Amino acid sequence: MRRMLFITIMIMLVAVFILQTPTDCAAQSKKQTATETKAKSGLEVLEGRWLRPDGGYIMQIRAIDGSGKMDAGYFNPRPINVSKAQATKESGKIKVFVELTDVGYPGSTYTLTYDPKEDVLRGIYYQAAMKQSFDVYFTRMK
């Protein structure tokens, strides 16, 4: 009885592998390629929570896709709408652009560069409502 059950299970497993559709294989290959692209891009180093010490502002980078589009949040201390978040590599440096569109932040932006030696994001915060730019930096939260 056990032998018959074992043989039946083995036949079912072989059938599953044989009947796997080309679409399933292509989808798996696409997913693997996207993962490899992300790993090769080096942008994943940005993922995490970042603190701007001069005001307690927090930027959270949850994920970055292969094109550099970031899933990001910004908090002061409540959430502020992030309308655009993009990471790029330019001349070997990782750049970050974040645009905020919320009450008090109509089109305010961060243009930052990642410093791998200090694990810091440095750059300019443009406060659109005041039409002023400020030198800022974010440190990684542990």
* pLDDT digit string, tens, across residues 38-69: 444 799 999 999 999 999 999 999 999 999 99
> Which pLDDT tens digit goes with each residue over 80-98?
999 999 999 999 999 999 9
pTM: 0.72
- Architecture (CATH level 2) of domain 44-140: Beta Barrel (2.40)
Q: Which two tokens stand for residue 36?
A: 């490899």
How far is residue 20's CA from residue 82's CA, in Å, rounded to a whole number? 41
Domain boundary assignment for the chain: 2-39, 44-140
Identify the band that residue 3 occupies on the pLDDT scale cut at 50, 70 and 90.
Answer: low
Return the pLDDT at 83: 98
